[in-house]
Amino acid sequence: MSSAAHPESYKAYAFLEKGGPLQVIQVQWRDPAPGEIVVKVLACGICASDEIAKFQLMPQVEYPRIPGHEIVGDVAATPSTENRWKIGNRVGSGWHGGHCNTCVSCMVGDYMTCENEDINGIARHGGYAEYVTLRTEAVTPVPEDMSPAEVAPLFCAGVTTFNSLRNMPCKPPAYVAVQGIGGLGHLGIQFAKAMGYRTVALSSSGSKKQLALALGADAFLDGSTADQVAELKKIGNVRVIMCTAPNADIMRDMIPALAPRGTLLVLALTGDTSVNLGSLNVKGLSIRGWPNGPVADCLDCINFAKANGIKVMVESFPFVRANEAFERRSSALFRAVLLPQEQDLPRPRL
């Protein structure tokens, strides 16, 4: 094994029971097994989907569980079998924490829909910690001249908006409308503009108009003063409506604004709504979700963001404020990010 200097144990924040708060724990150091590396965490984004770990919304969650799947850090330890990653390499990892290589999805390279997908912060411990153990097939190189705090959200919010849009069945100069200007939406506007789409920002108020225009939106529609569907119809050729604000009924009501063969792209975690499925037939419309992205897509996203000056807007929090940061998961301007910080607190053992 190859290793940088490391402690015998390290601090992390974990959910110890369903619905409980994050609590400080002490984790005993474990050398990485073949196919793993240990990373010293420099930044970990907080995502709304971290609620899955808190409320055990997927069967893979077992307690205690350290959440976090927007991870950036430096390689701190590798097994003797590791040929690629070296001590000190800057790396990251997202929702996708590993795949089985044997299921039908893996056989065609669709690792995000692996039947046995390992998920950082859900099925295995994640990045709300000073160190995290990652599977090597789920690790992406990160440029050292990019801010870890600003790169971390690219491993979920970023790659989800970037990767979904580049896989839609439309081309510039069609219009892309982005519903919601938050953690996902502020990135969606920038990616759409950088890809060459004409971009419309949709918000429930006028408070973010200047921001949306500064991010690259060609037009801004305030839902409190305008009929957004009617205005989008006037614009025409709206081929994608990227839904990033979690309101299922508002998403559904946007469907009539789509141009023929258009797609309602649902990226926000949201609840149930009713849809007249027959209404999709007349214009050949689609409703789609998108499952994030594995290593290759994360790397493309980071490189595209760097080349095009995509700005990830973050609020950074030291570990001691982890619970406060978690509560800001949906209201931060615009992505909450945890940064390691030493703090002397009682630490139950894991």
Q: Are residues 137 and 192 in the same domain?
A: no
At 178, list the tokens.
Answer: 């982005």
Check whether residue 27 and residue 127 sit in a common domain. yes
160: in domain: no
| Same structural domain, 174 and 149 | no
Asked if residue 42 is part of any domain, the answer here is yes
Report if residue 297 sits inside a domain.
Answer: no
Nearest partner of 111 among 93, 137, 90, judged by Cα: 137
What ranges make up the beta strands (E) of 121-259?
A: 131-135, 140-141, 175-179, 198-203, 219-222, 238-243
Whether residues 15 and 113 fall in one domain: yes
- Looking up tokens 């759409």 gives 192
- Establish if 127 belongs to a structural domain: yes
Instruction: Determine how β-strand 22-28 pairs with β-strand 140-141.
Output: unpaired
Run of H or E residues at 91: strand 90-93
Give the separation between CA 150 and CA 44, rounded to whole angstroms: 10
CATH number at residue 49: 3.90.180.10
Residues 221 and 276 in one domain: yes
Check: CB of residue 263 under 8 Å from CB of residue 240: yes
Asked if 138 and 49 sit in the same domain, the reply is yes
Which secondary structure element, helix H or strand E, spans residue 265, and what is its range? strand 263-266
Tokens of 163: 């990767």
Per-residue pLDDT at 344: 42
Q: Are 269 and 210 in the same domain?
A: yes
Q: Does any domain span residue 195? A: yes
- The residue segments making up the domain with residue 245 are 168-289
Are residue 172 and residue 151 in the same domain, yes or no?
A: no
The per-residue pLDDT string of the chain (350 residues; one tens digit each, 9 = 90 and over) reads: 898 899 999 999 999 999 999 999 999 999 999 999 999 999 999 999 999 999 999 999 999 999 999 999 999 999 999 999 999 999 999 999 999 999 999 999 999 999 999 999 999 999 999 999 999 999 999 999 999 999 999 999 999 999 999 999 999 999 999 999 999 999 999 999 999 999 999 999 999 999 999 999 999 999 999 999 999 999 999 999 999 999 999 999 999 999 999 999 999 988 899 999 998 999 999 999 999 999 999 999 999 999 999 999 999 999 999 999 999 998 888 999 999 855 444 444 45
* Confidence (pLDDT) at 330: 84
DSSP per-residue string spanning 94-126: -SEEE--S-SHHHHTT-GGG-TT-EEBTTTB--
CA distance 47 to 58: 16
Residue 295 lies in a domain: no
Total domains in the chain come to: 2
DSSP class of residue 248 equals: H
Q: Which residue reads 């493309």 in tokens? A: 300
pLDDT value of position 162: 98
Residue 344 lies in a domain: no
Where do the DSSP E strands lie in the chain? 2-3, 9-15, 22-28, 36-46, 70-78, 90-93, 96-98, 118-119, 131-135, 140-141, 175-179, 198-203, 219-222, 238-243, 263-266, 286-289, 314-318, 335-339
Q: What is the pLDDT of residue 341?
A: 59
Do residues 258 and 317 share a domain? Answer: no
Looking at the structure, do residues 181 and 326 belong to the same domain, yes or no?
A: no
Task: Give the end-to-end CA distance of the chain in Å, rounded to a whole number.
Answer: 24
* Beta-ladder partners of 270: none
Question: Are residues 22 and 108 both part of a single domain?
Answer: yes
- Give pLDDT, residue 332: 83
CA distances from 75 to 67, 185, 294, 318 (A): 19, 31, 19, 21
Nearest to 334 by CA among 314, 309, 305, 310: 314
Claim to verify: residue 72 and residue 107 sit in the same structural domain: yes
Domain contains 204:
yes
DSSP alpha helices (H): ranges in 216-294?
A: 228-235, 248-253, 279-283
Q: Rounded to an integer, what distance in angstroms lies between the CA atom of residue 292 and that of residue 284?
A: 25
We report the CATH number of the domain holding residue 186 as: 3.40.50.720
